[in-house]
Amino acid sequence: MYVLVLLRDRCSVNAKGLIFVFHHKTQRKILRLLAVPVLASVLVAVMTSEAPARRSPFEPLAVFARALSYIELAYVEPVDQDKVVEGAIRGLANSLDPHSAFLDRREYEILRSDAEGRFAGIGVEVSIRDGWLTILSVFEGGPAAEAGLLPGDRFLSIDGEEARDIRIHDAVQRIRGEPGTSVTVTIRREGKEEALERALTRAFIDIDPVEIDLLEGGMVYLRVKAFQDGTARLLSDALDDAVDQLEERGGVRGVLIDLRDNGGGLLHEAVWVSDEFLSSGVIVSTRGRDGKVISEYGARRAGTRPSWPIVALINENTASASEIVAGALQDHGRAVLVGVRSFGKGSVQNVFELPGGSALKLTTSRYYTPSGRSIQAEGITPDLLAEQPPTDADAAEPLREEALEGHLTAQSNGPAAKRPSSREAPPPVSPSPKIFEADLQAQRAYAVLKARLSGRGQRR
């Protein structure tokens, strides 16, 4: 569930910051080990002399350099320095928040393939939660969905190997593989005493991020599954096709946007999707340390869709980029939100490329809705509450950002940044579209949109 901005590695040196590049091209290990703590000590001295009243941020380098020298000189086995330093960087990132991480070359390749929306595996999005490899979302039509795996399920083992305290990279490598090959997983589901074992056949997982259906009365159902490369373009094309098809039947009269189970993706795609329906004003802003504005993204009048009534569906798995869209449409009064409070991932991760093909995924800011609400650990509260009855009596409790160990807290941005109150959504109308036959939330959202078209719905 990530809002990602991919950056190339750029280095600069000024009076306030130093960037160090260490090259290991000498066989004189003892001299190198002696030089590292000396260099660190000199840097500490320089930084302290420039700011005597402040503790230098580089002071811990002396401790790190000394620990590294002890390991290289005294450890019982020969040490791969690159591996040790990589482990140190990984530990640094893991000490921050749940979404910051060091990515080795293979992990970075996986991240980029996910952004492109095609990979071979079982069709789940996973993360580490309190030491357990946990399913965050299940891709419709994939092997995991067909086997009945659910968000919140925790892996006990993968092909007989224990999955507790596993690195996410190792887990992904075990789960992914050639299409047609099989993988056996054992999972623990909250509320169920016995573990569940499933044999899954890997397949190419093509995530089609946009799905559209034309409903009766000029209504359009638009489901956005992910914010990957091309989502905004596909959404725009789908709406163009809907306009053409409905032109002779009175045109488009209303839109139902489904953002449920959308774990997010690319920030710019979320901005462009929001821009389809907004003609002016802020879509989202990002703020760094001390609430300082880093960036602000605004809507443009050109290309804005007509002022169709819009209802947007959200749930506990609506996260990150999809929360940006929901918050922008809600704050601008452009849509009525129906469903339950969203996940609450309101932080932005920048990916900094490192030498050797690795990267550092680092949380650099929080994002805010147009009215100044911080979504981080708060989520987006719908205007109209509509619960979805669980399809499995043993389904786990919803997993949200505030339950994650080490999560960032919310930071409000003034008195306007208050969570709105919700009231119960009206009951479903009859008949509902066939595609919503087993979907009570969608039925109630459809009823809200239909009421708006007849002039009886909530106006914003």
Quick one: 265 and 214 in the same domain? Answer: yes
Quick one: 370 and 437 in the same domain? Answer: yes
Quick one: 188 and 223 in the same domain? Answer: no
Does residue 449 sit within a domain?
yes
Q: Is 331 a catalytic residue?
A: yes
Does residue 24 sit within a domain?
no
Quick one: 244 and 198 in the same domain? Answer: no
Total-model pTM = 0.75
Running DSSP on this structure, what letter comes out for residue 215? P
Does residue 141 sit within a domain?
yes
pLDDT of 53 reads 57
Q: Is 320 a catalytic residue?
A: yes
Quick one: 195 and 221 in the same domain? Answer: no
At position 155, the amino acid (one-letter code) is F
Long-range own/partner contacts, residues 438-441 (CB < 8 A, 24 or more apart): 439/388, 440/386, 440/387, 440/388, 440/389, 441/260, 441/313, 441/315, 441/338, 441/339, 441/386, 441/387, 441/388
pLDDT of 54 reads 66
Quick one: 281 and 364 in the same domain? Answer: yes
Quick one: 358 and 265 in the same domain? Answer: yes
| DSSP labels, 55-86 | --TTTHHHHHHHHHHHHHHH-SS---HHHHHH
Does residue 20 sit within a domain?
no
By the 8 A CB rule, do 192 and 153 touch?
Answer: no
Quick one: 125 and 94 in the same domain? Answer: no
Q: Is 240 a catalytic residue?
A: no
Query: What H or E segment, with its residue span, contains residue 174?
Result: helix 168-175
Six-digit token pair at 213? 């259906």
Quick one: 188 and 248 in the same domain? Answer: no
From 56, 127, 320, 342, active-site residue = 320
Number of domains in the chain: 3
Does residue 443 sit within a domain?
yes
Quick one: 298 and 394 in the same domain? Answer: yes
Does residue 322 sit within a domain?
yes
The CATH number linked to 437 is 3.90.226.10
From 225, 345, 361, 450, active-site residue = 345
pLDDT of 396 reads 59
Does residue 352 sit within a domain?
yes
* Domain end marker among 172, 206, 240: 206
From 97, 258, 261, 331, active-site residue = 331
Six-digit token pair at 201? 């056949």
Three-class SS state of 277: coil
At position 321, the amino acid (one-letter code) is A
Calculated CA dihedral for residues 397, 168, 210, 149, nearest 10 degrees: -40
Does residue 11 sit within a domain?
no
Show the domain range for 56.
29-99
Six-digit token pair at 306? 């007509």
pLDDT of 339 reads 97
Per-residue pLDDT of the chain (460 residues; tens, 9 = 90+): 444 444 433 333 333 222 223 333 333 333 343 344 444 444 444 444 454 556 777 788 888 889 999 999 999 999 998 899 999 999 999 999 989 999 988 888 878 877 776 678 898 888 777 778 888 778 888 899 999 999 889 999 999 999 988 877 678 878 988 889 999 999 999 888 899 999 999 998 777 899 999 999 999 999 999 899 999 999 999 999 999 999 999 999 999 999 998 988 889 999 999 999 999 999 999 999 888 899 999 999 999 999 999 999 999 989 999 999 999 999 999 999 999 999 999 998 899 999 989 999 999 999 999 999 999 999 999 999 999 887 655 555 777 889 888 899 988 765 545 566 679 999 998 889 999 998 999 999 999 999 999 875 544 4
Tell me whether strands 132-138 and 210-214 are parallel, antiparallel or unpaired: unpaired
User: HSE of 444 in the Cβ direction (CA atoms, 13 Å)?
Assistant: 22
Quick one: 336 and 235 in the same domain? Answer: yes
